[in-house]
Amino acid sequence: MRILLVEDDETLRSGLASRLRAAGFAVEEAANGTDGLYMAKEFPLDAAVLDLGLPDMDGVDLIRSLRRDGGEVPLLVLTARDQWQAKVEGLEAGADDYLTKPFELEEMLARVRALLRRTDRIPQAAKHSEILNYGPLTLIPERFEAIWFDNTVKLTHLEFELLHCLLQRHGQTVSPSEILKEVWGYDPNDDIETIRVHVRHLRTKIEPDPRHPKYIKTVYGAGYCLELPGD
Ligand code: CA
């Protein structure tokens, strides 16, 4: 498994790289966005860890470029505590998860593993107990697609898993902590902005009017509920 690591702080970068290598990953290191983009084109990647505050390039632009060139590679962004806005923009631009500095190396490793597990796991997801079809919705794990009212909807890995999670409990409210645990693979902290952003993405793909959702409902203070015709 090969990880791209883009971080301009040399001390932090070498710490992250050593921990990832010790865990058995191949690591490509870049100290700026330009090198990062170059390496992303040069090497087949399984995941990328990106600092949002880079010397030569807005980290959010880097995410957009990687999404454009590298498609679905799972992205974990690193943000400073005061970069709340950048964090949201990073998620909007296509990052899967983020960590706020300072963080423990073990936490970073857990997040990277969760990203990889997700990419890995979904194609074999069709176990008997799972619901892959209800009403107008059918999920196709092999292609990360949904059939939605006879239209094919292409999903990112993360959107797929989020929709899958909600579909298993359609008609019921699913709490943010259940979603975080199942989709992101870690125990909840108090921050549900990550979920909010990805729910918004998903709504733009399946809701006729994403601002007034008919199917993926927000249950204030409680979570989200996928309501399908027939529920
Ligand atoms: Ca930085």
Residue 103 to residue 123: CA distance in whole angstroms = 31
- Distance from Cα 144 to the centre of ligand 1, integer Å: 33
Range 140-149 average pLDDT: 90
Tens-place pLDDT, residues 159-180:
999 999 999 999 999 999 889 8
Residues 193-225 have pLDDT tens digits of: 889 999 999 999 999 999 999 999 999 989 999
pLDDT band at 190 (very low <50, low <70, confident <90, very high): low
Task: Please give the sequence-ordered ranges of beta strands (E in DSSP) within 62-176, or none if there are none.
Answer: 75-79, 97-100, 133-134, 137-140, 145-148, 151-154, 173-174
Distance 34 CA to ligand 1 centre (A): 14
User: How confident is the model at residue 191, as a pLDDT?
Assistant: 66
Distance 162 CA to ligand 1 centre (A): 30
- Answer for the pair 114, 194: CB distance below 8 angstroms, yes or no: no
Residue 59 CA to ligand 1 center (angstroms) comes to 9
pLDDT score of 181: 84
Q: What is the pLDDT of residues 83-135, one digit of tens each?
A: 778 888 888 888 999 999 999 999 999 999 988 887 664 444 444 468 889 99
In whole angstroms, give the CA distance from residue 74 to residue 47: 5
CA of 72 to the centre of ligand 1 (A): 24
- Integer Cα distance of 119 and 212 in angstroms: 31
How many Å lie between the centroid of ligand 1 and the Cα of residue 30?
Answer: 12
